[in-house]
């Protein structure tokens, strides 16, 4: 069911995700590699469980553009 994703996490919360992990998530998103994304998002949970849950909802809703934009390294 689409539309369950709420407001995006703040930049401060996203900054808790290590740069290397953020870059890997963006790459997997651009490749639309669902299995890799799931594994990478599991790696976000120890840094911030709420961010990880938000990312999971984006994947479930196939909101790849939003997910890729969150981890656009040019904006970091």
What pLDDT sits at residue 47? 94
Sketch the domain layout of the chain as residue ranges.
11-71
Ordered per-residue pLDDT tens for the chain, 76 residues: 445 667 888 888 889 999 999 999 999 999 999 999 999 999 999 999 999 999 999 998 888 888 888 888 654 4
pTM for this entry = 0.82
What are 51's two structure tokens?
């961010």
What pLDDT sits at residue 3? 53
What pLDDT sits at residue 11? 86
Closest Cα to residue 48, out of 14, 7, 10? 14
What pLDDT sits at residue 1? 40
Q: Provide the total of helices (H) and of strands (E) in the chain, helices listed first.
A: 5, 0
């Amino acid at each position: 069911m689409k539309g369950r994703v709420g407001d995006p996490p703040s930049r401060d919360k996203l900054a808790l995700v290590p740069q290397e992990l953020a870059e890997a998530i963006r790459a997997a998103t651009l490749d639309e590699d669902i299995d890799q994304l799931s594994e990478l998002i599991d790696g976000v949970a120890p840094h911030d469980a709420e961010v990880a849950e938000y990312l999971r909802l984006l994947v479930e809703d196939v909101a790849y553009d939003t997910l890729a934009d969150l981890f656009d390294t040019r904006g970091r």
